[in-house]
Structures are given as structure tokens and as C-alpha cells.
Amino acid sequence: MPNDLTKSARLKSKYTPLLVPLIAIAVLILFNLIRDPSFFSVKLTANNDGHTVLAGNLISILNSASELAILAMGMTLVTSASGGQDISVGATAAIAGSVFVKVLRNGDITASTVIVAFLVCCAVSILFGAFNGTLVAVFKIQPMIATLILFTCGRSIAYWINGGATPTVSSPIIEALGGFIPGVPVPTPVFIVILCGLVFVLLFRFTNLGFYTQAVGINQQAARLNGIHATWIKMLTFIILGICVAVAGCIRVGRLGLVNHETLLIDVEMDAILAVAIGGNALGGGKFNMVGTILGAYAIQALTTTLYAMKVPSTEIKAYKAVVIILLVVIGSNVVKDAANRLWNRLARKTAPVITERS
């Protein structure tokens, strides 16, 4: 019996955080099916290059949420370890994209050039991630304040990298990175998200990173007493987020075929933080659920796509999203969860049969 109770508690702890993003996605699916039964229809069509690809709102959601999902994965680790969020990911992605384009424009764009450009882009993003991590882990600065530095000046740095220009890159390889590989009907960014997810799965499976990150976030002093180097763990999470930023920046450059330091992934940090929150992760640090975060990212993109399908003006999108997100966050709060549990227990006691002993 105790083992069964322990197993039940573990399953509840594992899957309860997924309720909010799953409910959000289910509500959006139901709403769209009622509003337009063909909303999620998928069809084969020819793109501008004449290749047969999958198209439809469902594909658009999966494709458009790619950068957000990747950034949210890294943001989850930073939130878990440091109890705060990195608000500079959009600006750092602009820097990463600018470096990526700068390297590509120095010669012919070949597969090896793209790999070199990506590695240089990752190195720069890691340096900026380490900078943020140093401020947080070593100098004990609150994460949102520490990352406010790059949030403020990051896009200016991206502007300097390319001399204030908006350079373009044209190559079948770059187009495939942000669009479709010839002969493959599924958008390339979807595969990149899956690859990033698999990397995290392997990382958590074959290392103690997930356990150490949560331990530091729950109680840093206790983690230190148990031999966990809290400073290094926090630094490592910011470095990993830096790599995620580089990947997201390169995908966005591939989509657009250019880098615009002013608009590249602007405001994405807010959506990344919301994806972490909607995914059932505590923004104060500690335990995390990466699956919930990914579902949260797709829930946000599904909401955005729904609003565009309803012809909501782009200037009003954020207001509508804010209302829905407030509802989701409130529903997922501990106050509401505790109230729901008390109500459920009260109803269960009322409906339970009363057993009387006969003398």
C-alpha cells in the first residue's frame, strides 16, 4: 500500500503541471473547431520554389512556435536554477543573428560556411550568456536586473556588428534552414525543435543536470552542503540558454533571409517567460517540467494564430493575449489549485457511502 501511494504521488507530481497547458490547448482546439471546422485542416500545396509542402494553420502553429519553444527550454533551466528570468534573449538573438550573417557574407555560402557561422554565433551567444550568468551567480544580482543590461543595449550591439545596415543573405541552404528542405514537406524548424528536445532528454537522462538545477533552485545552501557547485550550475544554465538563443536567432535569419536588429524576435522574452509559467513551472525556481514548457509555447502560438485567423488587428493582439494569459496563470496558481482540491475533497466526502457497523 505505501508503495502504491508513493507511486501515485509521483505520477501526480509529474503530470499535474501539464494540466494548464493541456487545458489551454484543448480550449483553443474546441473553440476553433466550433468557429471554423476546417481550421486545423492540413493540405499539400506548392511553395514559391515549386516544392510540395504541407500547409495549414496547424503547420503554421508548429512552425511559427519553433524559436519560442527552443528559447523557452533554455529559459526553464535558468528559471529553475536562479529563481529569475533572462529578459535579454530577444536582444541577444539579434546579436547572434547579426554575427551569423556577418560571417556568411564574408564569402560564398556553402554547407561548411554555414556550420562555421553557426559555431561562431554560438560562441558569441555563450559569451553573453556567461556574462549574464556571472552577474547572477557570482555577484548575486537578481536575474531580471542583471539581464536588463543586454536587454537595453543588445540591439545596439547588433546594429554595430553590421554597421547599421540590414544585410540580406540568399542561399538555398539558408532558405532550407528557415523554410523547407527540398523533398521534405515538413518545415525544417519543426525538426530543429525535435532535435533540441532530444538533446535535453539525453542531457537529463545521462547527466545529473536536471537534478542539480532543481536542487540549487529549491535550496542553494542545502545543495552546496551536498557537494553541488551552485555557482557553476547557475552559470551553466545561462550558457545553455545562450546556445538556445543562437539556434533561435539562426532560424529567424533563415526565415527572413536577412537580419534586422530592431525587429528580430522582438518581445520574444515575454512569451518565453509566459511559456515557462503556463507550463506549470514555478517562476521562483525549483522543480521544472520541460514538457509543460514546450506545450506552453505551442499554446501561446496557437492563441496568436487563432487571433490572426479572427482578423484581430496586429496592434490589438497583445491585449487579447494578455487577457487570456492572465486567466491561464490565475487558473494555474496555487491558490486556485488549493481551492479546487478542497472543493473536490468536500464533494468526495459528501458522496462517499456511509458504512455503519451492526451489533
> Is 29 contained in some domain?
no
Separation of first and last alpha carbons in the chain: 30
How would residue 247 be classed by pLDDT, with cut points 50, 70 and 90?
A: very high
> How many domains are there within the chain?
1
- Specify if 344 maps to a domain: no
Q: What is the mean pLDDT of the chain?
A: 90
- Whether 315 shows a pLDDT value over 60: the answer reads yes
Residue 12 located in a structural domain: no
Q: What CATH code is carried by the domain that includes residue 179?
A: 1.10.3470
Give residue 264's pLDDT band: very low, low, confident or very high (50, 70, 90). very high
In a domain? residue 3: no
Reported as type and span, the H/E element at residue 231 is: helix 230-256
In 3D, which of 85, 71, 95, 96 has the Cα closest to residue 244? 71
Rounded mean pLDDT, 243-255:
97
262 within a domain of the structure (yes/no): yes
Q: Which of 261, 303, 300 is nearest to 279 (CA)?
A: 300
| pTM for the predicted model, two decimal places | 0.91
**pLDDT tops 50 at residue 359:** no
Q: Which domain holds residue 209?
A: 62-311
DSSP character for 156? Answer: H
Question: What is the reported pLDDT for 199?
Answer: 97
Query: What is the average per-residue pLDDT within 53-60?
Result: 95
Q: Is residue 278 part of a domain?
A: yes
Which of 212-221, 231-240, 347-356 has the least mean pLDDT? 347-356
Are 170 and 276 contacting, i.e. CB atoms less than 8 angstroms apart? no
Residue 353 lies in a domain: no
- CB-based burial label for 78 (10 Å; 0-12, 13-18, 19+): buried
The amino acid present at 341, given as its one-letter code, is N
More confident residue, 105 or 321: 105
Please, which pLDDT band fits residue 356 given cuts at 50, 70 and 90?
Answer: low
> 345 versus 66: which is more confidently predicted?
66
